[in-house]
Amino acid sequence: MTLEILTADSLAPLRHGFFTRRGGASSGIFAGLNCGHGSSDQREIVAINRARVAEAMDVPPDHLQTVHQVHSADVAVLDAPLPERPRADAMVTRTPGIALAILTADCQPVLFADAKAGVIGAAHAGWRGALDGVLERTVDAMEGLGAARADIAAVIGPSISQAAYEVGADFVAAFIAQSADHARYFAPGENGKMQFDLPAFGLARLRAAGVGRAEWTGHCTYGDETRFYSYRRTTHRGEADYGRLIAAIRL
């Protein structure tokens, strides 16, 4: 099956994509393009999937750079592919030929580009990372490499939508403790729960950081099983594990 790659006009002409699960070699609960070595999928199959992504990005497999994601606000600055994955949740570079890649399964994959300055970035922004400032710090790091905030386009890829993201009181309190204004990202749900709008929160943080353009592709990972993996959907079903989607960008 051919790979399905979602793109955004605002990141053109740079090669980039939010890859769906279609076109991969994995089977069973991982069926499709599972790119997560952290999953219990067969390592050699994951390597095949990542090689297909590298080919689509027109880079050697060892130039498809990922990080050891830890839900932090840490950003790695790359001038060459690294032999070991740094512990971080975002990367930036101005070096051509490196594809910056993020793995997700409900969290926000965010791709950044200042095509004029030749600086790109990629961030994994779950609720914790977004609240702690990973998006703003990615923009700061890009600026440190010569990007101009007004020229940066930032696109949030397939993520869990508000309709599928039920949270409890402690979750809400963590956001309100930072700013009472964050209440606007929550809507009443059932049984005293609330529904959190992660993409809206990400977009607001990006716009407040001064990027020239910020958008969400509008795809919900939870609601479209044929195209996307979802940690929450897997949890609700009591399945043993889940696949990881990949998003990548290169100069």
Domains and CATH numbers, the chain: 5-161+197-250 (3.60.140.10)
Q: What is the mean pLDDT of the chain?
A: 97
Which amino acid, residue 42? Q
Structural contact between residues 90 and 134, judged by C-beta atoms closer than 8 angstroms: yes
| Lateral strand order in the sheet of 194-196 | 166-167, 194-196, 186-188
Rounded-to-integer distance, Cα 163 and Cα 176, Å: 20
DSSP track, 172-201: HHHHHHH-GGGGGGEEE-STT-EEE-HHHH
- The predicted-structure confidence for 10-32, as pLDDT tens digits, reads as follows 999 999 999 999 999 999 999 99
- The predicted-structure confidence for 141-174, as pLDDT tens digits, reads as follows 999 999 999 999 999 999 999 999 999 999 999 9
Q: Is the pLDDT of residue 189 over 80?
A: yes
Residue 131: its pLDDT value, please?
98
- The predicted-structure confidence for 86-131, as pLDDT tens digits, reads as follows 999 999 999 999 999 999 999 999 999 999 999 999 999 999 999 9
